[in-house]
């Protein structure tokens, strides 16, 4: 994390707080990171996210609700979002082990 800019650190911190099954816009992320109007910069930061397991950048979509870009492919982004929404709606039906 040392080599990350202050803005990127803020973006990743904000995105880590988006709950599973929910989405937020790039402009929402930029505002929460303290830089309203920096939606494109937030998108660029997420495009270069080195922590995809920890920072769920797939939960960030365009302001119009469309999927937007994803470094691992828009198809995978859509699948991840659908899976999270299914799991959220059916959490009582999904058997957890361990």
Can you state the angle between helices 39-47 and 6-16, rounded to 10 degrees? 80
Q: Cβ distance 16 to 10 under 8 Å? A: no
Radius of gyration for the chain, computed over Cα atoms and rounded to the nearest angstrom: 14
Q: Catalytic residue numbers? A: 57
């Amino acid at each position: 994390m040392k080599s990350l800019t202050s803005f990127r650190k803020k973006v990743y911190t904000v995105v880590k707080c988006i709950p599973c099954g929910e989405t937020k816009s790039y402009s929402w992320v930029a505002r929460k990171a303290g830089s309203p109007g920096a939606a494109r910069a937030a998108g660029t930061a997420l495009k270069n996210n080195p922590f995809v397991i920890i920072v769920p950048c797939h939960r960030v979509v365009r302001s119009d609700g469309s999927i937007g870009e994803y470094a691992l492919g828009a198809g995978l982004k859509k699948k991840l979002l659908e899976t999270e929404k299914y799991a959220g709606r059916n959490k009582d039906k999904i058997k957890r082990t361990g």
